[in-house]
A and B are shown apart, each in its own frame.
Chain A
Amino acid sequence: MKSLANIGQRLNQLVAQPAQPSDAAELLALGETALEHWVRAKGKEPTSDLREGYRLLALHRQGADKDPSFNACRETCRELVYHYNLLTMEPEHPESAQRARMMPLVARHLFLFISGKLESRELGDFCCASKPLREKVDESVPAQ
């Protein structure tokens, strides 16, 4: 499995280089791999199921289980699938070049969200929560 650092580097390359509709499959796969990292970090085996025809959406659902803050990337996942569909089903569409330009940015947003969450995954039930962190700090400070 690609490391998170490698996913980030590859996404930065894909954002910077001239966009190609043929990159759609790789971008979707990079999104899946980033989600796999999240699911594994939570101690689960990444699902191979499909949801609405896509593993990416099944992985997101698995990642959001008992962790509602993870739904903050639900629409980003859906946008990624949407762009994949647009680019693979209508590669010759006049808007394809623009869609291909946007898809790496959508994939990178998903990656940044997940990698940020992984860094601060001790931060609790909500993306803005700090409860477990505070509890750790409280534990280390003797009661007054």
Chain B
Amino acid sequence: MSDKKAKYQEVAYYPGCALEGSGSAYDTSTRALGKALGLKIKEVENWNCCGAMEVKNIDPKIQTYLSSRVMSITANKMNMDTVMVPCNGCYHNLKKAEYDLANDDKTAEVVDRLSKKAGHDTYQPGQVETIHALDWIKETIGEEGLRERVKNSLVGIKIANYYGCMYTRPRHIFPEKDAGPGSESTFKPHFMDDLLEAAGAENVEFPLKTACCGGAHTLSDCDTSTLLVTNILQAAEAAGAEVIATECPTCHSGLEMHQIRAEKTLGIKTNVKIIYFTQLLGMALGLKPKAVGLHENISDSFDFVKNKGLA
């Protein structure tokens, strides 16, 4: 068993705020998928917001502190060395906090002061490894392991894999990426493609894998978000996809909501389904659609998955 495979069998789980709200289907499906694969997770105790976008805009160091607290609890209270994060925003922020704490003395000083004030141990860089849900499945089960476990193949389903812009950017906070064979690519990420292909899906050539979905504009400039999402949906359909597989709750809910809004405000109807990769893998392993939270999605994919033999 490889080092990572052994290390990731049991990980701390940081769902983050979105997975308690609009991204609840991602939480449901991540937990269900892990259980079906025999992997163990322990939710980070008394976790807090990672600082997301809002806190970062007020003071980036407070965002770094908030993310560091999650890692501090993982390391110092739970005695765990790996935290798994499904949300791209949380994943990005924890990775950025790790980088900033290791490379910026001023940030480390502020975080130390705030940690002492809050009454917990200061997080020290290197105590915890932050991984994405994609890393977790890829490293522990991998393509071979998935192929062996598939009960309902995704064969005949054409998928555009959409990673969003936070999963790979900025490159310097992801030193494990672009590290040669087997590692993730920041230009053309492929972990989701690899896993879904192993489950039988046919991945289409999709050039907007890491393009901006306008998620951050949703409230301040909704029309721009609708235009960006509509272009992504149309590109996925032009690429031949029936499904867009997602791995970020912000992107996912943005795609779903603006798909509806585009039809109403622009008169542009697209039919491509929007489904989390964890939902697709879970159904491929034989889990029922409800068990992976398909009913929690805004868009309705039930008829589609039924017609594909997944329900």
Contacts and interface: CB of A to CB of B under 8 A. Distances in A.
Contact of B212 (A78, A127, A130, A133): A127
The listed residue with most B CB atoms (<10 A of its CB), out of A74, A120, A124, A128, is A128
Given A112-B227, A113-B211, A115-B224, 14 more contacts: A71-B169, A72-B165, A75-B210, A83-B207, A102-B239, A105-B208, A105-B238, A109-B211, A109-B228, A112-B224, A116-B214, A116-B221, A131-B58, A133-B220
Interface in A85-129: 98, 101-102, 105-106, 108-109, 112-113, 115-116, 119-120, 123-124, 126-129
Contact of A127 (B217, B232, B234): B217
Nearest to A68: B170
A83 B205 CA distance: 12
Contacts of A116: 214, 217, 221, 224, 227-228
Nearest to A108: B231
B139 to A, nearest CB: 24
5 contacts: A15-B234, A72-B169, A83-B207, A112-B224, A131-B57
A71 B207 CA distance: 16
A65 interface: no
Interface residues of B, number: 31
Contacts, number: 92
Interface of A: 15, 68, 71-76, 78-79, 82-83, 98, 101-102, 105-106, 108-109, 112-113, 115-116, 119-120, 123-124, 126-131, 133-134
B56 interface: yes
Contact of A76 (B168, B211, B227): B211
